Amino acid sequence: MKNPTILHRFAALLLVLALSALSFSARSALQVVIDADENRTTPVAHRYIHGVILDDAKFQILLPAAWNGKVVIHTRGFSGTEFSTGAFQTAALAKGYAFAASDEGWNRVTIKNEPEDTYYESRQRIMELTLHMNATVQQHYGRASSRTLIMGGSNGGHHTKWMLEDFPYLYDGGLAGYGYNSQISQWGGVAQVVRNYAVIAPRIDDIIAKRAADPAWDPFKTPLSPPLTAAQLQAMHNIYNIPARVDCNTSFRCDFSYNAGRWKGSEATWKQQYPALVGYLHDSMTRFDPTFNPNGGPLTDSELGLWDPGKSPNWVKRELRKLDLTGQLERPLIIMHGTFDSTVSPGETAGYKRLVERALGRKGAEKVLAVYYIPGMGHGGTQYNDLVDEQIDALEAWIDYHQSNGRSGAPAPAMLGIYPREPSASGEHDRDDEDGEHGQRD
């Protein structure tokens, strides 16, 4: 049987080549409508363009007067728009990159009312934006860009990994902040957190206070006073331990399991993020799984927590699995993730690191993937934003090193800010190794 992932990538490559051949007329080929084109002076002098691709995907492009010859493509968060670019845009413009961002034709607020849109659509929209950006840069500056970077956080972190795996010929490297590996692991995990948080909610302030007083506290060995009930202890266990897997249908073994549970120490963010997690499910459940409706009416918070994508119809699982990552990474990628993230577990990044090591071997993975954890950070934050500039510099040096076979540039740094690069376990994760245990960080 022919491999579907390989066939998809071959078809995508043919499309990219065909559209790239039309670089001069890429706007008409992609049906681009421009609704703003003006010169601006802040934060740096630049030409600003806003428009829509194929009647659906809104975008913005910023072309600095002092161009460094390179391009940054931004991928947005789950709730974001083409303007949700934050520290990525600020750092990129200050360094002279031409910058492009898209709303990808949907977000979690709009998609429930737009049946023609899908989560999977982002792949096409980001590719279209990249091609249109390259044509715009060529026309505006009179020459092609010498390098294209892709970057984003959260949902955009997933998309950055996704695009680097599937379209390495479009990008030279990327920054992926705190992203997931699979829609099933991410949103099934969110549902598991929601249903178990409801059990411990009456004691969450006691749990948070105990953790603050004793960071090494083990709730299963040192009871609170009064003690948690057996049901509450089980609920905590269920939040710390969320089975996850990717099933990426590649030519080598890729059915891969890991732990997407929230890490010990993150309990305060459970309370902070619970309303947002419920909101994500309320906005998106009818699109994640249209068959899920236990009582036939509007879904309640408690009903949302009952959803288990593993029990969904096969066609639902196939749709969600379209976003599974493979670990087949060919371009340098830097990932930073907060250890207290309760929206997207840092276990997703730990799992991705193991997935790449499974695909490429430990030494191969070290050449293209660098992971850094930020202790105490939740789902993004100033600790991450303050390091975007340094991340870009490190990525540029690493790309130089990668492309020159070590003759110039530098490998991924041992430290980003004060945060060390996560090492690979010696002797593990060669291509033919069996899975290790689903370890969890304390």
Residue 103 contacts residue 80 (beta carbons within 8 Å):
yes
pTM of the model: 0.90
Amino acid at 57: A
Residue 312 contacts residue 232 (beta carbons within 8 Å):
no
Q: What is the pLDDT of residue 253?
A: 53
Amino acid at 260: A
Residue 277 contacts residue 198 (beta carbons within 8 Å):
no
Nearest-angstrom CA–CA distance, 98 and 63: 5
Residue written as tokens 């161009």? Answer: 67
H-run or E-run covering 194: helix 183-200
Nearest-angstrom CA–CA distance, 336 and 364: 20
- Mark 340-375 as b/e (b = at least 16 C-beta within 10 Å): bbbbbbbbbbbbbbbbbbbbbbbebbbbbbbbbbbe
Q: What is the pLDDT of residue 36?
A: 96
pLDDT along the chain (442 residues), means of 10: 43 51 49 94 96 89 98 91 87 97 85 74 92 96 97 95 96 97 94 97 98 96 96 98 81 74 98 95 88 90 92 91 93 98 98 95 97 97 96 98 96 98 65 35 36
Nearest-angstrom CA–CA distance, 117 and 107: 10
Q: What is the pLDDT of residue 431?
A: 39
Q: What is the pLDDT of residue 121?
A: 85
Q: How far is CA 76 from CA 142, 390, 440, in A?
A: 29, 20, 29
- Structural domains of the chain ordered from first start: 4-181+333-420 (3.40.50.1820), 185-321 (no CATH)
Nearest-angstrom CA–CA distance, 21 and 115: 32
